[in-house]
Amino acid sequence: MKQHYRYRSITPRLLEALSEAPVVLLQGTRQCGKSTLVQSIIEDRGGRYVSLDDDDARLFATTDPQGFVDALPFNSAIDEIQRAPNLLLAIKRSVDKQRVPGRFLLTGSTNVLALPKLSDALAGRMSILRLFPFAQTEIGGRGKTSVVDGLFNESVIQREYRLIGDELAPMLIQGGYPAAVAAQNPRVLRRWYRDYFQTVTSREVRYILQLGDSERLNDILRLMFGETSHLLNIQKLASALGFSRTSIETYIAASERLFLVDKIPAYHPRSYQRHIRSPRHHACDTGLALALESYDDTTLRQHREVMGQMLETMVVTELLKHASWAANETTCEHYRDRDGYEVDVVLRQGSRVVGIEVKLSQSVSSTDARGLKRLRTVAGDDFQAGYILYDGRYRIQLDDSIHALPLSAILT
């Protein structure tokens, strides 16, 4: 699968971090483009790149961590730091001797910071960024601004957009992994995703997470992908698989550490006590989730409920991607209360709130805004705007500060 370099929208933030922090860690699921981005940046900066996927480099790093670090010149990149996590302690000692910005650029395909001793080692010395698979705007070559900022200041709103229509199913099936975007036909695409899933789960479970059974993780992830965008019922998963609740929770934490699943916490305003605190979980990529269940263009269109789930997940993951390079720090949450009101996405910048509902439809009405109206009530003055995303052409004002907004405002 031939690939060409696409601009990554997080690049300015990564360069800014390198100008300020001694150590920068770029995390994200395997094959999302970390190595390509880091090699490009290090080459431009005249530094040295080392991958711990290389057997000799990894042997040196694991047997003599301090010697490995001391042998590296200023402005070095270490790829796949999770393969030798004790390097973080050696990096700490090196940085404490020579504390200058941009000393080390690290990448990690598992969240090594989930280990308290290692995360504490570089506290105050390291800036952490997340790289996701391509956003749709990056695939289309329009990825230099963040739609998240536009949703808060309403600069994203124009009068007319284009329909996505029949392009939606192929977009969901393709997903955003660079190799998948480069795939030439659906059969190659599905095979790549399946091989990727098997390789990542078996390799990382065995060598990094040190869990006993990669097949158990595979089973749990397949069920979680099938329940993407829903509140996760751990007891239901445990019953379906015949595992204990503790085992399920352990493997869910592992899937989060591998960045294969994103946990979206609940928005809970202090003044309102009827909200539900349970998080939602979303698959990291719709292409991966659909490939594991063998959906193609035809079968996906025949299963509207699945298509709706995957559309919501794609919107959530796109917003997470845009939040990673937004001008203002942004968190992604969801809202649901005991009265049955819910909002698919709640974006928060400080106390300011934007609500987003996702609708697999080419029409919208004011009744679709009931969840956003409840969010506006409970958020009070913090509520900035609400949007119902639908596959139409026009921006429509449905209520004070609540708009219907075409999907193409987010996905193209």
Q: Could you read off the pLDDT of 357-374 as tens digits, one per residue?
A: 999 999 999 899 999 999
Q: What is the CATH number of domain 11-130?
A: 3.40.50.300
Tell me how crowded residue 163 is: count the other CB atoms within 10 A of its CB. Answer: 14
- % of the chain exceeding 70 in pLDDT: 94
Say if residues 254 and 211 touch (Cβ distance below 8 Å). Answer: yes
DSSP E strands, 318-382: 331-336, 342-349, 352-358
Mean pLDDT confidence for 156-185: 90
For the chain, domain boundaries? 11-130, 136-411
Integer-rounded Cα radius of gyration of the chain: 22
Burial (Cβ within 10 Å: 0-12, 13-18, ≥19) of residue 393? middle
Rounded CA-CA distance 35/17 in Å is 17
- Least trusted range by pLDDT, from 20-24, 48-52, 215-219, 314-318: 215-219
* Tokens standing for residue 21: 């922090």
- The residue whose two tokens read 């263009």 is 297
Give Cβ neighbours of residue 293 (< 8 Å, ≥ 6 apart): 222, 225, 226
Kind and range of the H or E run holding 88:
helix 87-97
> 2-11, 24-33, 59-68, 114-123 — which is least confidently predicted?
114-123
- Rounded distance, CA 224 to CA 114, Å? 21
Query: In degrees to the nearest 10, what's the CA dihedral of 98, 102, 107, 111?
Result: 70
Cα separation of 179 and 33, whole Å? 9
Model pLDDT, residue 189: 96
The pLDDT of residue 154 is 76
> Which of the 8 DSSP states describes residue 232?
P
Q: How many CB atoms lie within 10 A of CB 351?
A: 11
Pairing of β 352-358 and β 396-399: unpaired
Q: Between 335 and 273, where is the model more confident?
A: 335
Which has the higher per-residue pLDDT, 210 or 138? 138
Nearest CA to 356 out of 365, 348, 346 is that of 346
Q: Residue 309's CB: how many other CB atoms inside 10 A?
A: 24
Bridge partner residues of 261 (DSSP): 283
Longest dimension (CA), the chain: 65
Query: What does the pLDDT look like over 129-158, one tens digit per residue?
Result: 999 999 999 999 887 789 999 999 877 666
Predicted pLDDT of residue 216: 82
Three-class SS of residue 41? helix
- Is the pLDDT score of 381 beyond 70? yes
- Which residue's structure tokens are 């596959």? 391
CA distances from 136 to 118, 148, 154, 187, 403 (A): 34, 14, 20, 21, 22
Find where tokens 């193609």 sit.
296
Find the range with the poorest average confidence among 83-97, 259-273, 347-361.
259-273
Average pLDDT over residues 279-283: 95
Q: pLDDT value at position 2?
A: 46
| Confidence class for position 375, pLDDT limits 50, 70, 90 | very high
Query: If you ran DSSP here, which 8-state letter would residue 406 be given?
Result: E
What's the CA gap between 372 and 113, in Å, rounded? 35
